[in-house]
């Protein structure tokens, strides 16, 4: 069974204080690892897709990295508007064509001014 574990569950940072969010996963075969941002009462907003170990992607203050066991979402000099829940999800290799995502519970990030 595919599993995704995110840590920490919650993180409070001061504005400008860089940190990293962790996503550990176990999957029979990884097709892709996804990072999403979710604001309260909203649907997830796509951030990144990573396909293979060693891959990195960046977008503004966010950088996602991937190893064979985990992914990190690094946030550099965050601003209050970066406050949100960050979700990690995996898509497993599936011969049946079912491509739904398995999500972690998310990290609730609060950036204080």
Partner 1 sequence: GAVVSQHPSWVICKSGTSVKIECRSLDFQATTMFWYRQFPKQSLMLMATSNEGSKATYEQGVEKDKFLINHASLTLSTLTVTSAHPEDSSFYICSARDRGGKRGVINEQFFGPGTRLTVL
* Interface with partner 1 (CB under 8 A): 4, 31-32, 34, 36, 41-46, 49, 51, 87, 89, 91, 96, 98-106
Q: How far is the CB of 69 from partner 1 (least distance, A)?
A: 19
Determine the Cα–Cα distance for residues 6 and 27; give it in Å rounded to an integer: 15
Q: What is the DSSP string of 63-93?
A: EEEE-SSEEEEEE-S--GGG-EEEEEEEEE-
Q: How far is the CB of 61 from partner 1 (least distance, A)?
A: 19
Q: Which two tokens stand for residue 108?
A: 């609730």
Q: How far is the CB of 75 from partner 1 (least distance, A)?
A: 20
């Amino acid at each position: 069974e595919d599993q995704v574990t995110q840590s920490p569950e919650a993180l409070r940072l001061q504005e400008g204080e860089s940190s990293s969010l962790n996503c550990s996963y176990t999957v029979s075969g990884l097709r892709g690892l996804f990072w999403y941002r979710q604001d309260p009462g909203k649907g997830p907003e796509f951030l990144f897709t990573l396909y293979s170990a060693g891959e990195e992607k960046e977008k503004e203050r966010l950088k996602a990295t991937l190893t064979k066991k985990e992914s990190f979402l690094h946030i550099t000099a965050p601003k209050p508007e970066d406050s949100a829940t960050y979700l990690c999800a995996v898509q497993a290799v599936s011969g049946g064509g079912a491509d739904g995502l398995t999500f972690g519970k998310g990290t609730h990030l609060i950036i204080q001014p």
